[in-house]
Amino acid sequence: MAEELTPETPEETTEEQAIKQRKNGLYPGVSDELAENMKSGWADTELRDLAPIAQADKTAARRAALSARFPGERLVIPAGNLKTRSNDTEYAFRASTEYAYLTGDQTQDGVLVLEPARAGGHEATIYLLPRSDRENGEFWLDGQGELWVGRRHSLTEAEQLLGVPAKDVRELAAQLKEATGPVRAVRGHDAGIEAALTDKVTAERDEELRVYLSEARLIKDDFEVAELRKACEATARGFEDVVKVLDKAEATSERYIEGTFFLRARVEGNDIGYGSICAAGPHATTLHWVRNDGDVRSGDLLLLDAGVETNELYTADITRTLPINGRYTELQRKIYDAVYEAQEAGIAAVKPGAAYRDFHDAAQRVLAEKLVEWGLVEGPVERVLELGLQRRWTLHGTGHMLGMDVHDCAAARTEAYVDTTLAPGMCLTVEPGLYFQADDLTVPEEYRGIGVRIEDDILVTEDGNVNLSDALPRRSEEVEAWMAGLKG
C-alpha cells in the first residue's frame, strides 16, 4: 500500500503525501512486493576515515570567537531551505553566509547549534538530514530522497569532515521548542526553525547576533584570502572569455556575454557571486543593469561587472569598461582615463591605519576636478565636493567590503565599518565611475550615453595593499593591447 511506503512525517496527511508524490512524478500504488524488494540488495557505501575539510581549523576558531561573545546562550544558525521557483522546481540552493562561515558546510536544511556547556563555552552540534532511510522507502519515494537528488553524507561522515558532532535535523525543531534558557538565532533562512523559536527570541537580540557575525568577517583569515584570490583569478579568465566572443555578442545580444561569463563561473566555481552586469552602450549608465538583453555595437563601450563565486562561496567583484571594437574613441578615452586616475588615487589611499572613507574621498576629488576642468560643473572643486555636485555623474560610493557576500559585512555597525580605520586582512573594492545618462541635457550631446566604471578587489596588507584583481589590465592603452592579443 502506498500509505505504508511514504516517509514517516506525522504532520502530513495521506492526501498531502499523495500530492507530494504526484508533484515528484510518482503515483501512489506501489505493490507490497516492490516495496519489499526496494528495501534490500544495496551495498554499504559508508565512507570511512575521512580527512577534515581544509578550513576545519578556521571554522573551529570562528565558532570559538562566537562562543566567547555570547556566553551562556543557545545560538542557532540555519543554512536555509530550498526556495520554490515554480510548482515543484526550486532555485539552486545557496547556504546562508553565516552558516557556511561557521561550518564550512553548505547542506540545505542544515542548522548549527551552539549549546552552552556546563563547564563554560559551548558545545557545537550540526543538525543535518541523514542518509535516506531504505526501510521506509524514503530514498526513492520522497522528492528529496537520495535516489532523486543524490547521495548525502551520513552523519558520521559529516562529523569527520566538519569536526563537529552531527545529529538528525528532523528532531531539532521539537528540541528547540522544549529548550529553556536564552536563545538567539540568525533569521531569514529557515521558517521552520524560526517557528520553533518564536516565543524564545527577540528581534533585537537576534540582530546583535547578525551584527556580530557580519563584523567577524571584516578581517579575512588566510583561507579566506586564498579563496578571494581564486575568485579573482577565475573572474579574470571569465573576462578573457568574454573578449574572445565579442563578435558573437554583436551578432546576438548582451546575453551572449552573460552566458559566456556564467560558463566560467560554473566550471571554476560555484556560481556567479551576483547578477552579472553586461551593459553595452548607454546601458552602462544604469548601475545595476542585469536585464542584459540589449544590442552590442562596435564603437560603443561594454561595462562588464561580474564575479565568480568559488566553491567555498567567496566572490570577486570586478568591473572593466571595454571598447567593443578594441579601441576607445577620443572622448571615451578621456572619460576612461579620468576614472582610471580616480581609481589610482582611491587605491593609493587603501592602507592600514587610513580611515575607511579616505579612498572614497580621494577618488571623488579626482572626479570632481575632471568635471570642473571639462566645464560640466562650475568650480571651484572645494565647492563641488562640499555640495556633492559631482554626484550627478559619480552616483555611488567608491567601494565596499568584499567576501562571501559581494557587499560583505553589510550588517556591521557604522563605527565598525564606514567610520573605522583599515586593518590588514580587510578586502574591499575600489570602483569609481562616471555616468552620463542618455537624457542628461546638462552635458554636451557627445557625452550622453557613456558610462565608465573600473573596479578592483584590494586586500589591505601590513604595509599597504595588494590588488587581487591585477591580472586584468586597467590603463586604457593596456586594455586595448590585451584585447588585441585575445582577439588574435
**Segment 314 to 333, residues that bind ligand GLY, using CB under 6 A:** 317
CB-wise, 116 or 273, nearer to Mn ion?
273
Least CB distance to Mn ion at residue 402 (A): 7
CB-wise, 59 or 260, nearer to Mn ion?
260
Q: Which partner in Mn ion, ligand GLY, none is near 402 (CB below 5 to 8 A by kind)?
A: none
Least CB distance to Mn ion at residue 470 (A): 16
Closest residue to Mn ion using C-beta atoms: 305
Closest residue to ligand GLY using C-beta atoms: 305
Least CB distance to ligand GLY at residue 434 (A): 15
CB-wise, 305 or 405, nearer to Mn ion?
305
Helix (H, G, I), strand (E, B) or coil at 174: helix
**Segment 228 to 247, residues that bind ligand GLY, using CB under 6 A:** none
Does residue 305 belong to the site contacting Mn ion (CB under 5 A)?
yes
The answer to whether 459 and 434 are in contact (CB under 8 A) is: no
User: What are the CA-CA distances from residue 374 to residues 46, 120, 263, 359, 444 (Å)?
Assistant: 70, 65, 41, 23, 10
42 alpha-carbon distance from chain centroid: 39
Least CB distance to Mn ion at residue 289 (A): 11
Cα-Cα-Cα-Cα dihedral sign, residues 286, 291, 295, 301: positive
Per-residue binding letters, 167-186, with ligand GLY (x by CB under 6 A): --------------------
Q: How big is the site for ligand GLY, counted in residues (CB under 6 A)? A: 7
Which range touches Mn ion (CB under 5 A), out of 110-118, 163-171, 313-321, 387-395? 313-321
Residues contacting residue 215 through CB under 8 Å, at least 6 positions apart: 409, 411, 412, 413, 416, 417
Least CB distance to ligand GLY at residue 315 (A): 9
Least CB distance to ligand GLY at residue 220 (A): 18
The span from the CA of 48 to the CA of 403, in Å, is: 33
The answer to whether 4 and 35 are in contact (CB under 8 A) is: yes
Per-residue binding letters, 387-426, with Mn ion (x by CB under 5 A): ----------------------------------------
The span from the CA of 175 to the CA of 197, in Å, is: 10
The span from the CA of 156 to the CA of 47, in Å, is: 9
Least CB distance to ligand GLY at residue 276 (A): 9
Per-residue binding letters, 258-277, with ligand GLY (x by CB under 6 A): ----------------x---
CB-wise, 405 or 455, nearer to Mn ion?
455
- How much of the chain is helix, strand and coil, in % rounded to 5? 40, 15, 45
Residue 127, all three cell numbers: 543538525
CB-wise, 317 or 358, nearer to ligand GLY?
317
DSSP 387-440: HTTTHHHH-S-S--B-SSSSSTTTTS-GGGTTTSB--TT-EEEE--EEEE-TT-
CB-wise, 227 or 369, nearer to ligand GLY?
227
The answer to whether 474 and 343 are in contact (CB under 8 A) is: yes
Q: Which partner in Mn ion, ligand GLY, none is near 274 (CB below 5 to 8 A by kind)?
A: ligand GLY
Cα-Cα-Cα-Cα dihedral sign, residues 473, 479, 481, 483: positive
**Segment 382 to 401, residues that bind ligand GLY, using CB under 6 A:** 400
Least CB distance to ligand GLY at residue 306 (A): 8
CB-wise, 254 or 455, nearer to Mn ion?
455
The answer to whether 215 and 416 are in contact (CB under 8 A) is: yes
314 conformational bin, left if phi > 0, alpha if psi -120 to 50, beta if neither: beta
Does residue 305 belong to the site contacting ligand GLY (CB under 6 A)?
yes
Least CB distance to ligand GLY at residue 395 (A): 12
The answer to whether 111 and 77 are in contact (CB under 8 A) is: yes
CB-wise, 254 or 305, nearer to Mn ion?
305
**Segment 437 to 466, residues that bind Mn ion, using CB under 5 A:** 455
Tell me the residue type at 283: H
Quick one: which of 109, 358, 431, 457 contacts ligand GLY (CB under 6 A)? 431
CB-wise, 272 or 376, nearer to Mn ion?
272
Least CB distance to Mn ion at residue 483 (A): 20
Q: Which partner in ligand GLY, Mn ion, none is near 390 (CB below 5 to 8 A by kind)?
A: none
The answer to whether 385 and 368 are in contact (CB under 8 A) is: yes
The answer to whether 342 and 369 are in contact (CB under 8 A) is: no
Q: Which partner in ligand GLY, Mn ion, none is near 59 (CB below 5 to 8 A by kind)?
A: none
The span from the CA of 434 to the CA of 454, in Å, is: 10
Residue 380: cis peptide before it, omega within 30 degrees of 0 = yes
Least CB distance to ligand GLY at residue 406 (A): 6
Residues contacting residue 191 through CB under 8 Å, at least 6 positions apart: 81
Contact positions vs ligand GLY (CB under 6 A): 274, 305, 317, 400, 406, 431, 455
Contact positions vs Mn ion (CB under 5 A): 305, 317, 429, 455
